[in-house]
Amino acid sequence: MNEIPSQQSNASQDFALKVLDRIEEERVVPRPRWQFTMKNRLFWVLGVLSVIVGSLLAAALVFALVNAGWEYREITHHGFFGFASQILPTLWIVALLGALLLAYENFRHTSRGYRVSLIVILGLCFMVVVFGGALFYFGGAGRLIEEEVGGRIPMYRPVMMQQKMMWSRPEQGLLAGQVIEYDKVQSLLRLRGFDGNTYLLTTKDLADDSLEVLTEVGESVRVMGAFAKSTDGSNVPFFRPCYVFPWEPRHSLPKIHGIVCTGERIIQEPRSTDCKGLVPHEALQTLHFGACR
């Protein structure tokens, strides 16, 4: 104890001795440095992981939003709010906020993380998530997360499944499915709907420009038209197509004017009475002129 300066008061020296005695009695030893280094690194790793997970969630969020069927909202829904409330990917939004919060908490607990304000940490994390989310989205991870992860979460319906349901209402003129046969001579198309039924469609009134691209066997399409019971006595339901749109989900941003689609030959005035009755006709005309190339 020769290190204790002699001019200190007796009480102070007694206290210092008491502390040293307790260290001795309780066999207190300094914890090794690596434990603190590991702890600090663990917070960094968890913070970075949270940002990566956040980026993946952002990619899924963008995928869900881009493929929500904005172009067709006037056909599939009556109002914007009904559409927005149905397509809003609440799951990904909540999970993304959770990941950002987790990232903040981890970075804040690093050795000097407390010095940086909440706004700065969250702002930086947000920017990285936006950038990483864009990379993951264009790389196709958004779809993977949306379908593979989202599909396994109870109560959550992935966007493409929602789309399938929206377009599996033949009685309301909305049909989607895979082309299983196309007879160009007889202008007949056989479609296996996403609802599991097979439909027969006549394409003779559809414009030719994009029809062949759309109706290749194996391709999936969305069809807007009129549903009718079969007339030839078979059990195959008949569907009168007025507009045909592609089905494929996108990995890029929506190109409103680049959709390959087709409508009736005489576009100024729908030729058939079936198509004339389609609601909303104005929206379809806009879609036809504006969106179909």
Binding site for another protein (CB under 8 A): 1, 3-5, 7-8, 12-13, 15-20, 22-23, 26, 28-33, 35-36, 111-112, 114-117
Among candidate residues 142, 117, 120, 114, the one with its CA nearest the CA of residue 56: 142
Q: Tell me how far, at minimum, the Cβ of 18 lies from another protein, in Å.
A: 7
Strand blocks (E) in 95-203 = 168-169, 174-183, 188-193, 198-202
First to last CA, the chain: 91
Q: Give the C-alpha distances (Å, rounded to integers) separating 155 from 123, 148, 149, 194, 211.
A: 31, 14, 12, 20, 37
Closest CB to another protein among 20 and 180? 20
Distance CA 276, CA 41 (A): 67
Closest CB to another protein among 121 and 226? 121
Closest CB to another protein among 26 and 282? 26
Distance CA 266, CA 272 (A): 10
Q: Tell me how far, at minimum, the Cβ of 47 lies from another protein, in Å.
A: 16
Distance CA 246, CA 258 (A): 11
Q: Tell me how far, at minimum, the Cβ of 7 lies from another protein, in Å.
A: 7
Q: Tell me how far, at minimum, the Cβ of 51 lies from another protein, in Å.
A: 20
Q: Tell me how far, at minimum, the Cβ of 103 lies from another protein, in Å.
A: 17
Q: Give the C-alpha distances (Å, rounded to integers) separating 203 from 72, 184, 185, 276, 289.
A: 21, 9, 10, 16, 19
At which residue do the structure tokens 């056989």 appear?
190
Closest CB to another protein among 113 and 246? 113
Q: Tell me how far, at minimum, the Cβ of 33 lies from another protein, in Å.
A: 4
Closest CB to another protein among 91 and 121? 121
Quick one: tokens of 115? 């010095």
Closest CB to another protein among 2 and 231? 2
